[in-house]
Structure 1
């Protein structure tokens, strides 16, 4: 079984979504189940309703889990494992206070040494502290594992001191709960961000201490950089999956982009199902990858092109296929659903000729042409050529004095797509389109 284990402490980051996609694909390739595990052990930071939002987002991207579990529901089993470790002297109670440990950390800092917990401290404050933590004994040997992306990774004993597995309130720590749950659900392979590399040896130590013999596969994804070349953080709006969806990027386009980041793909544009046929986690680059919003916009446009006019209309909240066709035409200028909506809104909104365009002559010409077109709209004319020629004749306007007002009255913009291409769709809505603000 493979798993994606988000925490309900904030919006989903594109790095999280990328890991979810890869775990999902590998599960399908291996014919194994895909588990979604909500890691809700940090009660202080959990946001109410965020778990439901995460699940809804995953469903929107077609990443449905075969099982959904909450880590907190396994606390009793985690504590049982901790008791087993205590009974077998593989874990011990530590009575050190937070102030004591902070003092030791400061001493190490002053000596320019890495802080390492010393097992001899465990009982020093037993009389002062009635609420001890439980620590797993550090390793006497190096811990190594094979990372599918990074290769062999080795952690020496001095890097693995005794670490906390149960807090003073009895709540399991992240690494302990994670390691236990990976055992409980028989996880076979884990794809996650490289910020978890240092957690992996600790989780391996927990499983070894509990006598778990299965070897898990690991792949730690390189970090995603922002456009400034620095690590992308939650402060970068484009790092939020919710923000990308709000901007009108399609789920299938986001998936396409995240799979192709730092990866060689046989085709440029593809679906999640198609990627399942050829994706290889070992081909993902080791080095960090920069998020390129321009590249995502291009991929988004290409996925829009694949939509039928009916599907496009539904995305815009209508069943009018002509609106879908009109939207597809605007892919020459727009890349996201929001940008296309803005183009269509300009077409159907009253035209503000006073605010946008200066000059009394222009305003007068707009009004003259407006009334001519309004009368022509009563009986729509089939072809653009006929429509144009009749409008020129009736208005006595020519050249720029005709075409600029015509374009503004029909589209709300002074430049844009060829009116001849737009007219076959606009002609059905002329009464709605031909409106002037304030007139």
Structure 2
């Protein structure tokens, strides 16, 4: 479907070459200061034509808020946002009348609906993500203002070239790097958005090589979410990592998702991989000595940084001739036209950030609601040694005494 979220709900609309694309966002709290100026920066980071390494499609992606605000503040009602498609070239896709393009959604959309968009990828096009980025900007502003939560993504690999630190998720230097990284730092390493000069230059050269050969290449985007309160996530089927995976894998061209130590963690013994709990000397709160879990345990955030990686395939549209077949099965040769990215990961960075912010916003609203309905009840009496607390606003409720413990049998 075209809607994501439960209490903070985002519905996107539009196709690659229709008159406009956009979204409707429901569940935005009233009284939040909001104008187009809050939305536009992220859309400008996502827009095409940013450099010689992206599609030359000339879209300004100017957002217009249609409803849900008055005098610069949200009303608590649905917010509609629209971006007009200005540089449409549907004639570039005339070959789609004969051929389903290799690794595109032309054939599957036709099989599902019995009809498909005649130009571009329709709803499978990356143009659809404009609505996500606009909605994510709203979520980001609320999260930052109320909980100081920040979301930062960056390009961690292109083809076989990796940012060296990201190859070692068990390294303390890697976690320090993630925690200190800012969006401004990432954007200072344009056009690739890899926060390392030498690695970024090598990535740029590789993308240019494939672009000049009328080919494409894939890569990965790593994202860190900082200052998340403990307690977010809805077990069992809506665990926080499951919702993040759902969000990320819904982005066009994604092929993989891993959180925390990810697949590398499968090669580390439990005695090393387990995140031991310690008392933070600054805040006095319970934290973990390491963060192989990626800030989530049992599907619930533990207060540490949440970090994950998303894999993006090589873009399917390339200028080279490809042997394929027509819709009626006759052999043919297709040389795709249109304007497309030789590598999507530099422009995918704000999309990953947006979907992360939308996911956290939805989970936060859900948890705040749970805390609100629980607040009038008397404190829960826990066994000795167990500490209970309110987690969303940081204020603690009823505390027990600490002490050593031992786990036996099934957990």
Q: What range is the shorter-chain TM-score in?
A: under 0.3
Larger Rg: 1
| Structure having the larger proportion of residues in strand | 2
| Structure having the larger proportion of residues in helix | 1
Between 1 and 2, higher relative CO (CA 8 Å, sep ≥ 6) is seen in: 2
Q: Give the TM-score taking structure 2 as reference length.
A: 0.22
Q: Give the TM-score taking structure 1 as reference length.
A: 0.21
